[in-house]
Chain A
Amino acid sequence: MVAVVFLVFGMLQLTPGDPVQAMVGQYPVPPEFRAAIERHYHLNDPFVSRLWQYFANLAHGDLGFSFQMQRPVTELILERAPRTLILAASGFLTGIPIGLAVGLLSAASQNPHVDRFWTTTTLIAYAIPGFWLGQLLVILFAMQLGWFPTQGMAPLVSRASGFGWLLERARYLALPAITYAIYEATRVARLMRANVIETLGQGYIVTARAKGLSRGAIVRRHVLRNSSLPVVTIMGYAFGVAMGGAVLIETVFSWPGIGLLLIEAIRARDNQVVVGVVLFVSLAVILMNLIVDLIYCALDPRIRTGS
C-alpha cells in the first residue's frame, strides 16, 4: 500500500495540471484568488512535505480532504462505494451464472453447431466496447421502447414508496447492470468453455465414463466444479477492480459511483481524491483475493487437506 501511495503521488506530481485554474475555468486566475486557495489547501507545499503529511494522515485512517468537493475523501468514497457495489454485484451476479452456463453448454454439447453459435456470439459480445454497448441499450430500451430511464441512479423527483420505490430503483439499475452483465458473461463463458474442454480430456473423466456414469452426472459431479476454479480466480480479481468503478459504464449512465468520482477528480485535478480512490481499489483487490482463497478452500478439497 505504501508503494501504491508513493507511485500514484509521484505520477500525479509529474502530470501537468493546475487545480486552481480548473476551479476558475477559461479565464485567467486572479493572483489573490490563487494565493488564497494554494495557501489554504497547501497546494504549493513541497512534494516531500505533502507526501509526508499524507502518510501521517493515512496512519490515522484519514485519506485527505477534497478541495473540489470540500469533504473528507474517506466520506466521499464511503458514499460512492455502495453505489458501485450495487452496480458491480448486479452485473456479476447476473453475468457469471449466464457465462458459466453458456461456457458449459458450448463445450459440453455434442452438437458442433451449438458450440459454434455460442463461441461466435460470445466473441462478438466480448468485442463490443462497454460504453458503446451501453449506448446501444439506451437507444433501444430507453429511447425507442421507453422501458427504462436513460441515465441516473434514481429519479430526482419521486413519490414512490415501499415496493414501488424498489421497482423504481430497479428500473434505473437495469441497463447499466445488463451492460456490465453482458461483458462479464462473455468473459466467463469463454474462460469456462476452455476449462471444460480441458477437463473433459482428463483421465478421471475417462474413468468416470468407464464406470458407466451418465454424461449429465459426469458434468455435474466432475466437470463443473473443476472447471469453475480458474473462473473464480479471475472473477475475484475482476470484482476487486470493478469496485474502482466501471468508469465508462458509470459515465455513460451517469451512475454516481466510484468511477464517476474518479473522473470528476481527474478533471478537477483533485489529487487527494485520485490517490484515495486508487488506494481503495488496491484494498478491494487485496480483499477479493483473500475471499477467492477462501472460496477455493471450499471448492477444492485438495487445498483443505493441504491446510
Chain B
Amino acid sequence: MFSHRTRRRRPTEKDFSPMVLVKRLRLALLISCLCGAAAMPARAAEVPQRGGSVIIAMDPAGLSILNTELTSLSPALYIADVWADGLMARDAAGKRIPHIATSWSVSDDGKTYTFNLRKGLKWSDGQPFSSADVVFTLTQFAKFNTYLSKIVPLIAKVEAPDEATVVIGLSQPLAAALDLFDKENFPLMPKHIYEGTDIPTNPANRKPVGLGPFMFESWEQGRSLSFVRNPYYWDQPKPYLDKLLVALIPNAQQLLNALIQGEVDWVQLDFSQIQRAQEAAKNGKIKVIKIEVNAPERSSLDFNMRRAPMSDVKVRQALFLATDRNRINADAYRGLAFSATSAIPEQFKELNDPSVNYDKLYPFDPQKAAALLDEAGYKMQDGKRFSVELTYIATSPFDAIAKSLAAQWKEIGVDVRLSGLDSQIWLDKVYRKNDFDISLISLTGRSDPTLGVDRSFICNDAHVPYTNPTGYCNRDLDRIAAQASASPTAERRALYKQYEEIVARDLNEITLTNAPTYNAVATKFKNLDAQFDISFNEHPNWAEAWLPEDAR
C-alpha cells in the first residue's frame, strides 16, 4: 500500500579524509573478525579432523578366523569391513560403487568381466598391490569360499593383462556374478602372504593384512580386537579415526546396555533389543539406523516331506492358512518385520513378481485350514488332529516364533512339541539325520536369489547343511533356477514368476517374515550419513566417520 524509498546520500569529500578512512577500515576489520569468529566453529565442525577411536561391539559366537574368504560368521563379516576391501561396494540404494576397481565392464554375452584397478595401492603391511593379487585371490581362495560355490565351476579364465586390469572369463553367464565380486563376497587377499602356504590354516587368517581403512593390531581372545589406521588406505585422508576397537560381548542385552551407557559406540541390533534401543535413542546420545536396502532375512518353516503328515501338501497348505504372520511379526519382531509375499524376497524389486502373493493365496483363515485338514483325513479327535515336533535353535527370535506358532496351530487341533536346541545339535538333527517334522530357521537371501534363496528349494541329495533339508526335489524348479541365474535381468522376472508359483504350490518351505536390519550408533561421531551409506550385507567400515576434539 505504501512504498518507502530511502534516497542514497552522495559521498562528499569529507568522507574520503584519511581519518574517516582509517575509522572505516577499523570498523570493517572488527566486523570481519566478529563474523569470522562466529563462523569458525561451524566451519571447523564441517572439516573432518583426525584422531580419536571407535569401539564397535558384537557377540563373538564361534569367531575363530577373521578372513571372510573362509567364513560367513556374522562377527567376522562385521570386522572384515574394517580391515578388508574389494573391487566394489554398494551405496544405501543398493547401487554398485567403485572401491579397489575404478570401473568395470561386462561383455555383451555376459561371459567376460573386465575390472580396471586403482594404481599405486599398497597392502596394510606396505607391500604393493596389483592385479596379480586379484588373480591370486580368485584362483587360490575361490575353492574355499562358500559364497563363490556357484561361480567356481564357471570360471574359464582369469587374466591380468597389466598391473591394473583383471579379466575374468566365464564358460556361461551368471547374472549374480558382479555381486559375487563385491567386497562382501570377495575380499581381496595378499598374494605375498598366502602364496605357497596352506591357505585355510595360514596364521594370517587371524592376523590379516588387507586393503581396508584399518589394519590389524592385536586380538585378546574373549575380550577385544584392536585395529589402527591403515596409513596406506586408498581413500586418503580417510580414515579419520586413529583406532578401532572391537569389544566382544556374548550377550545381546549387554551389548545394548554398553551402548546406552557409552561404553561402546556401535552394535548391530538383535530384534529383542530394537524397541529398547529406540526408547534409549530419545536422549540423543545414540541413534538407531535402519538399513533401507538390506539383505533379506526371512524366517521360514521347512517341512520334512519324507514323513507323514508333512508329506501331504494339503497339510502344509493348512498349516500356512492357520498361521497368523502378523501375530508372529508382533510377537517376535515387535512389529518391525513384514509378511513375506513369495519365495523371491521383496528386496529384489526387479525379480520379485507381486502377482504371486502369499497374503492372497494363504490368508490367515483357521476355518479353511481346519476344513483342509479334514479333507486330508486328519479329523479332530479329542481336541487333537496330530502332533508335530517343531525344532529350532533356542535363541531370539526363534523362541518367540515357535511359541506363537504352537499357540496358533493348537486352535486347529495341531499339537506342537517345541524342541529348542543348541545350534550344532539342531544342524545335525535337521540337515544330517533329517530327523525332524518341521524346522524353523532364518536365512539371509544376500543380494540375489541365486546366492541366498535357491538353497531353500533346490534338490539336496547330498544332505548339504543350510540347504533344503525337506527332501523336496523338483527338477523343473532346479532347471528354472539355473536358467534364471544365467539370464539377463529382463528375462529373469518371468522365470522367477514360475519359480514363485511352483514354490507357492508345493510349499516345501513356507516363508513367514522378512526382517529389516537395524544398527545403533553413538551420535558423537560426525558424518554418520556417509558412514551408513551401505546396503545388503555391508557394515560400516568407519572410514567416513570422525570425532570432534571435544568428543574424544
Contact = CB atoms under 8 A, between A and B. Distances in A.
Interface in A1-49: 15-18, 21-30, 32-33, 36-37, 40
A17 B426 CA distance: 9
Contacts of A146: 261
A36 B198 contact: yes
B254 interface: yes
B62 A252 contact: no
Interface string B47-75: 00000010100001110110000111110
A143 B146 contact: no
B467 A150 contact: no
A149 interface: yes
B64 A23 contact: yes
A26 B424 contact: no
B465 A28 contact: yes
B328 to A, nearest CB: 21
B279 to A, nearest CB: 12
Contacts of B427: 16, 18, 21
A76 interface: yes
Interface in B419-448: 423-425, 427-429, 432, 443-444
A256 interface: yes
Contacts of A71: 221
Contacts of B361: none
B149 A30 contact: yes
B465 A40 contact: no
Contacts of B465: 18, 21, 28-29
Given A143-B261, A153-B223, A26 B65 contact: no
Given A254-B251, A263-B250, A156 B224 contact: yes
A267 interface: yes
Contacts of A253: 254
A27 B257 contact: no
Interface stretch (A62-70, A92-100, A298-306): A62-70
A151 interface: yes
Contacts, number: 157
Contact of A30 (B143, B220, B245): B143
Contact of B254 (A16, A24, A150): A150
A92 B425 CA distance: 36
A157 interface: yes
Interface stretch (B200-208, B512-520, B540-548): B200-208
A27 B143 CA distance: 14
A144 B424 CA distance: 38
Contacts of A23: 62, 64-65, 70-71, 73
Contacts of A37: 200-201
A156 B258 contact: no
A288 interface: no
A254 B61 CA distance: 13
B144 interface: yes
Contacts of A21: 424, 427, 465
B263 interface: yes
B424 A24 contact: no
Interface residues of B, number: 58
B250 to A, nearest CB: 6
Contacts of A226: none
Nearest to B260: A143
A24 B263 contact: no
Contacts of B248: 254, 256
Contacts of B71: 23-25
A135 interface: yes
B254 A25 contact: no
Contacts of A138: 254, 257
Nearest to A261: B222
A266 B60 CA distance: 13
Interface string B234-271: 00000000010101111101100110110100000000
A80 B144 contact: no
A186 B266 CA distance: 38
B145 interface: yes
Interface string B504-538: 00000000000000000000000000000000000
A79 B220 CA distance: 10
B72 A16 contact: no
Contact of B62 (A25, A80, A135, A260): A25
A274 to B, nearest CB: 13
A157 B53 contact: yes
B386 interface: no
Contact of A16 (B221, B245, B247, B429): B429
B261 A150 contact: yes
B494 to A, nearest CB: 29
Contacts of B206: 70
B466 A268 contact: no
Interface in A45-77: 67-71, 76
A142 interface: yes
Interface in B182-213: 198-201, 203, 206
B320 interface: no
Interface of A: 15-18, 21-30, 32-33, 36-37, 40, 67-71, 76, 79-80, 135, 138, 142-143, 146, 149-153, 155-157, 251-254, 256, 260-261, 263-264, 267-270
Which 9 residue pairs spanning A and B have beta carbons closest together?
A16-B428, A256-B222, A25-B72, A17-B424, A27-B146, A36-B200, A25-B73, A150-B257, A68-B64
15 contacts: A18-B465, A21-B427, A23-B62, A23-B65, A27-B146, A28-B466, A36-B144, A68-B64, A138-B257, A151-B251, A152-B263, A156-B245, A156-B247, A254-B249, A270-B64
Given A21-B427, A23-B70, A256-B220, 5 more contacts: A23-B62, A23-B64, A28-B464, A151-B254, A254-B247
